[in-house]
Amino acid sequence: MHLRQTESAPAAVASPDGAPDPDAARRAALRTEQDYVTWLYARLDVLRERAREALREAHGRGGAGHRQAAIEREVTADEQARLLARLSGVERGLCFGRIDRRDGADGATYYIGRAGLRDEEYEPLLIDWRAPAARPFYAATPNSPGDVVRRRHLHLRDRRVVGIDDEVFDLDRMSDTDRATLVGEAALLAALRRGRTGRMGDIVATIQTEQDRVIRSGLPGTLVVQGGPGTGKTVAALHRAAYLLYTHRDTLARRGILIVGPNTTFLRYIGDVLPSLGETDVVLASVGELVPGVTATAVDGHEAAAVKGDRRMVALLTAAVRDRQRVPDADLTVEVDDMVLRVGRDVCRRARDAARASRRPHNAARPRYVNELLRALARDQAARLGRPLDEEDLRYAAGALAEEPAVRTALDALWPPLTPQRLLRELFADRAALRSAARAAGLDDACCDALHRPAGSPWTVGDVPLLDEAAELLGEDGSAARAAARAAERRRREEEWYAQGVLEIAGLTETAGLDAAALAERHRDRGPGRTTAERAGADRRWVYGHVIVDEAQELSAMAWRMVLRRVPTRSMTVVGDVAQTGSPAGARSWGEMLDPHVGGRWREERLLVNYRTPAEIMAVAADVLAAVAPAQEPPESVRSGGTPPRALRVGEEGLAETLPGLVASELAEIGEGRLAVLVPDARHAEVAAALPDAAATAAPAALDSPAVVLTVTQAKGLEFDAVVLVDPAGILTQSPKGGHDLYVAITRATRRLTVVHEGDLPAPLSRLAAGE
């Protein structure tokens, strides 16, 4: 039997007059749990103090030893610092659950929490939520409870137990005392009712069974998590990252986990979840940040986005690179020391073809071409001077010519060293170059028009996969790598010199176990690039142990190529909803997107329950989905009730007058929560001007504001207690995927939805018309 107890249900502890006393039962249960929780925190304090002490000792142990000993101390200190960070991260809500199992004759009780704790005898006091022993806490359902007799949720405020919820799966197996102290209220619904803060919270206490399957799915291969809005795809994927780090720490600590999200605001929104689970060593990046050194936030128009995401851009870029490998129109002539040196055009052509035939990337193949031409120039120079040349002379003369500015300019014009940035900047600013490359790729002039732009334009998100593709085609620019190595060597010497000064000032001699080189290295390691995540984030060619892609339906074919380069093992979690695709280059089906890369070898989990949007609002969204994508099923809302969604008609000039009052009254209704005004792209500035008190940028700080004006693209993945949706017809018609945008906009609301419209309500929203 399964029983979800309510607070009024327990009826076994008697009051003095013999009547059942539920309050006494509740107090008794709270006391028991408080005692245990107090004990757990005491243990946590002890472990933290030990880690702190070990850290102090590692830092303080300056004394004897050589460089090896210094490094060992550093490693110990590093480990203790991580342990301390992990133990500090789990302070809030340390223990959130308990299961009573039918283990053996007596049964057994296990407490579940954010971290595993053991006593001095190594007996478990608290089970880490990711450990196999915690699984029944999440997996037990009324239909298949396994050996779980009762699941209890504990609600903590600071270190105090302030509430308990019980789910009983087998009342007959419970002892009389335990039955007497049953208390409860559905923990999940309590969690869902909380106001939004602008930051996603963890759900470690209320993970649902279907989500648990996603979280604990094995590390190898590609897992697709498909689910409608609010089904917990994002939050489950983040818990999966924590679970994988716990279960495969060795592999993943070395290679790291990358989480790709749609934009920096979204990343900020989800950024607290992993630290609250004690995990910090993860790289979070938007598609626009995946090439180190470039931060792209500008967004392309629909045409440009569609072309840039098209797989044929590979052929276009390949052709564009080939176009930069030229032979002169006539013989090559260069003036050096008042003498005109000449190399025949056919010699240039042969040299270029040989360099291309090496099949090396552009920058790596360049020396073949350049060296061949330098030798030809040197031979011509010697002939004109009437000097014979042996092989050594030839090498020397070619080297000397390479230093001549006129020679360098001439050779750079034929086969320039290229960075991805330079290639793209110059290509997009040059219509003729674009046409030539596009023709080779089978793209028409309209595509060229969509790509063409002035040279100084900012990088867009759609450019970043192209920069990454270009980096592959170009290879490392050897000169840049050499310059970087020289700069690094210079820095190393300066740091050592500085470190020597520090040692002298501190009166520490080399016999103190730390010489200047070791001290410099230690400080260098402390700087950027110290943790796996930091090193990985700064290296375009880093290979991750696992990659999670959120809102994955928005990624174009070119963006997938970029992401997949970072995970050749294809150990990935792909999270999204093809019914929410807004990008013109995004996914229509997972097979279409993934099959070219993983050859059909991906597995899928579906999430079907919406934890965000109440049923009344979801009914409106379902009408929209039925109109724009009848084959897609909307998820089912876990809760109903609350304020019915409504529509509000205003005159055209009435928008600016209506919105401030409407937003103020909605804010008053939601109290501490968050509100978003969602608008068509073209009306963002107008609506933002009407609401000067609301944040109006998609910058991460906007999440701190009680009210924010956003386009639907900017609001993707986010949620708000109240949504004011302005001009639904404008959203519907703003792009070929406008219907999907409207679906996304409606499903951002957790409590209240108001649709403000000027003309007639679009047909899919007719359900709202009745209430006007």
Q: Which residues line the annotated binding site?
A: 227-234
The residue from 114, 173, 239, 612 that contacts ligand ATP (CB under 6 A) is 612
Among 227, 262, 288, 738, binds ligand ATP (CB under 6 A): 227
Q: Which residues between 69 and 128 bind ligand ATP (CB under 6 A)?
A: none
At closest approach, how far in Å is the CB of 673 from ligand ATP? 12
Binding status of residue 751 toward ligand ATP by CB under 6 A:
no
H runs (alpha helix) in 271-390: 273-276, 302-309, 313-323, 345-357, 362-385
Pure H helices in 143-301: 176-180, 187-193, 209-215, 233-247, 249-255, 264-270, 273-276
Query: Smaller CB distance to ligand ATP: residue 259 or 378?
Result: 259
Binding flag, residue 188, ligand ATP (CB under 6 A): yes
Considering beta carbons, is residue 70 or 267 the nearer one to ligand ATP? Answer: 267
Q: Which stretch binds ligand ATP (CB under 6 A): 111-119, 203-211, 367-375, 536-544?
A: 203-211
CA dist., res. 466 & res. 157, Å (int): 49
Pattern 709-748, ligand ATP, x by CB under 6 A: --------x-x---------------------------x-
Q: Is the CB of 139 or the CB of 192 nearer to ligand ATP?
A: 192
Question: Residues 25, 95, 207, 547: which binds ligand ATP (CB under 6 A)?
Answer: 207
Which segment (79-87, 149-157, 229-237, 506-514) binds ligand ATP by CB under 6 A? 229-237
Query: Least distance in Å: CB of 483 to ligand ATP?
Result: 44
Q: Which stretch binds ligand ATP (CB under 6 A): 156-164, 206-214, 382-390, 474-482?
A: 206-214
Distance CA 529, CA 534 (A): 5
Binding residues with ligand ATP: total (CB under 6 A): 23
DSSP 14-37: BPTTSSB-HHHHHHHHHHHHHHHH
Taking the complex as a whole, how short is the minimal distance between the CB of residue 573 and ligand ATP, in angstroms?
Answer: 12
Q: CB–CB of 155/204 below 8 Å?
A: no
Distance CA(716)–CA(299), nearest Å, equals 14
Quick one: which of 533, 544, 604, 77 has its CA closest to 271? 533
Q: Which is nearer to ligand ATP, 164 or 378 (CB)?
A: 164
Residues in the chain: 772
Closest of 355, 378, 32, 383 to residue 177, by C-alpha: 32
Q: Name which of 133 and 186 has its Cβ closer to ligand ATP.
A: 186
Distance, first Cα to last Cα, the chain: 46
Classify strands 749-757 and 720-726 as parallel, antiparallel or unpaired. parallel
Out of 5, 231, 276, 711, point to the residue binding ligand ATP (CB under 6 A): 231
Nearer to ligand ATP, 77 or 188 (CB): 188
Strands 222-227 and 602-607 turn out to be parallel
Q: Smallest distance from the beta carbon of 712 to ligand ATP, in angstroms?
A: 12
**Closer to ligand ATP at the Cβ: 198 or 278?**
198
Answer yes or no whether residue 673 interacts with ligand ATP by CB under 6 A.
no
**Residues between 423 and 442 with contacts to ligand ATP, criterion CB under 6 A:** none
Rounded to whole angstroms, how far apart are CA atoms 516 and 502? 8
Cα distances from 746 to residues 131, 338, 622, in angstroms, run 38, 74, 10
Q: Which is nearer to ligand ATP, 352 or 612 (CB)?
A: 612
Which span sits near ligand ATP by CB under 6 A: 23-31, 231-239, 329-337, 452-460?
Answer: 231-239
Q: Does 208 bind ligand ATP (CB under 6 A)?
A: yes
Asked if 230 touches ligand ATP (CB under 6 A), the answer is yes
Which token pair is 480? 């840049």
Would you tell me how many other CB atoms lie within 10 Å of the CB of residue 328?
16
Beta-bridge partner residues of 336: 339
Binding residues for ATP: 227-234
Nearer to ligand ATP by Cβ, of 316 and 718: the residue is: 718
Q: CB-wise, 206 or 571, nearer to ligand ATP?
A: 206
Q: How far is the CB of 218 from ligand ATP (least distance, A)?
A: 21
- State which of residues 11, 131, 186, 191 lies at the interface with ligand ATP (CB under 6 A): 191
Under the phi-then-psi rule, with left for phi > 0, alpha for psi from -120 to 50, and beta for the rest, what region is 207?
A: beta
DSSP H/E element including 223: strand 222-227
From the number of C-beta atoms within 10 Å of its C-beta (0-12, 13-18, 19+), residue 437 rates as: buried
Binding mask 542-581 for ligand ATP (x = CB under 6 A): -----------------------------------x----
DSSP assignment string, 55-72: HHHHHH--SS--HHHHHH
Site membership for ligand ATP, residue 622 (CB under 6 A): no
Residue 241 tokens, joined: 């990252």
Of 153-182, binders to ligand ATP (CB under 6 A) are none
Residue closer to ligand ATP (CB basis): 265 or 747? 747
Place of tokens 């386009």: 711
Quick one: which of 24, 81, 192, 429 contacts ligand ATP (CB under 6 A)?
192
Taking phi over 0 as left and psi of -120 to 50 as alpha, with beta for the rest, 282 belongs to beta
Residue closer to ligand ATP (CB basis): 185 or 758: 185
Pairing mode of beta strands 572-576, 546-549 = parallel
When binding is defined by CB under 6 A, the residue of 206, 531, 556, 573 that contacts ligand ATP is: 206
> How far, in Å, CA of 306 to CA of 52, rounded?
54
Is 611 near ligand ATP (CB under 6 A)? yes
Q: Give whichever of 447 and 549 is closer to ligand ATP, judged by the CB atom.
A: 549
**In which element (H, E) is residue 148 found?**
strand 148-157
Which residue's beta carbon is nearest to the bound ligand ATP?
232
Among 22, 113, 163, 232, binds ligand ATP (CB under 6 A): 232
* Angle of helix 391-402 versus helix 405-414 axis, rounded to 10: 90
Amino acid found at 152: R
Residues 6+ apart with CB under 8 A from 194: 201
Smallest distance from ligand ATP to CB 196, Å: 7
Binding residues (CB under 6 A) for ligand ATP: these are 188, 191-192, 200, 203, 206-208, 211, 227, 229-235, 577, 611-612, 717, 719, 747
